[in-house]
Amino acid sequence: MSPNFVHKLQEVSEKDKEKIKSLSSMDLQERLLTFGFKEIPKPKIHYACPLGFMEIFIGKEEYSIRALVDTGAEINIIPEEIAIKASLTTRNLNMNLRGIGGHTTSLVALSEFTPIILASGEEALIHIFIAKGSVHTALGRPFLADNNFRLEFSHKQGEILSYQEPEGRRLCIPICKPQALRWKTGPPRGMDLCNMEKLGWKYTRKEVSKLKR
């Protein structure tokens, strides 16, 4: 390599060092102006929708559980222990589900066309995967889409699950009150704040039958 060429590279390198030093001494506004920006860009705002729990009766035995309504879940899921207690009819499978945090959950079975009853008395059929380990019962996008359920938000009522009744009325069920809305980065821990029992929606099976009449 030519000595003159190496010398030129060293000169350029020294100039770059001086430029970097001068930039590091500037505040953010001055740096942006140096690169042609007219003003500091506004930071993007990140937000997350709240997750709420609701009471449901699942399976032919109408076993009562609290389920998380999760718009980010691609499948419906239930712990193996609860599936056994609810006497769900299942077929075995063996696969792993990777969560948003990178952790894996083992799926051991699938219960198809499983009947569920909401606390309001509305009936639905769902496909739900059975998982090993400590997981919440979660009703995801398939539950919402297949049954034409909709999540709405009210400043007074919080998060609401709503659906159209055959008579034309739209029934709304609050699943997460405003005072329960907190920024969460880990697994949901606000079950006592976001459940039908706290909201006065705790029904026995007989009471649900009366509601349907």
Instruction: Kindly report, residue by residue over 43-86, the tens digit of the pLDDT.
Output: 555 545 556 788 899 998 889 999 988 877 889 999 999 999 99
What pLDDT band is residue 111 in, cutting at 50, 70 and 90?
very high
| Average of per-residue pLDDT across 185-195 | 47
Asked if the model's pLDDT at residue 113 lies above 70, the reply is yes
Lowest mean pLDDT among 7-11, 124-128, 189-193: 189-193
Residue 212 in tokens: 């349907």
What pLDDT band is residue 35 in, cutting at 50, 70 and 90?
low
Separation of alpha carbons 166 and 188, rounded Å: 34
Residue 132 in tokens: 């090993």
Separation of alpha carbons 44 and 184, rounded Å: 19
139 Cβ neighbours under 8 A, 6+ residues apart: 56, 67, 68, 69, 70, 73, 76, 126
The C-alpha angle 161, 165, 169, rounded to 5 degrees, equals 90
Classify the C-alpha dihedral 70-71-73-75 as positive or negative: positive
Lowest mean pLDDT among 19-23, 165-169, 199-203: 199-203
Q: For residue 159, what are the β-bridge partners?
A: 153, 176
In which order are the strands placed within the sheet that holds 158-164? 150-154, 158-164, 170-176
Instruction: Kindly report, residue by residue over 146-173, the tens digit of the pLDDT.
Output: 877 887 777 677 778 887 777 777 777 7
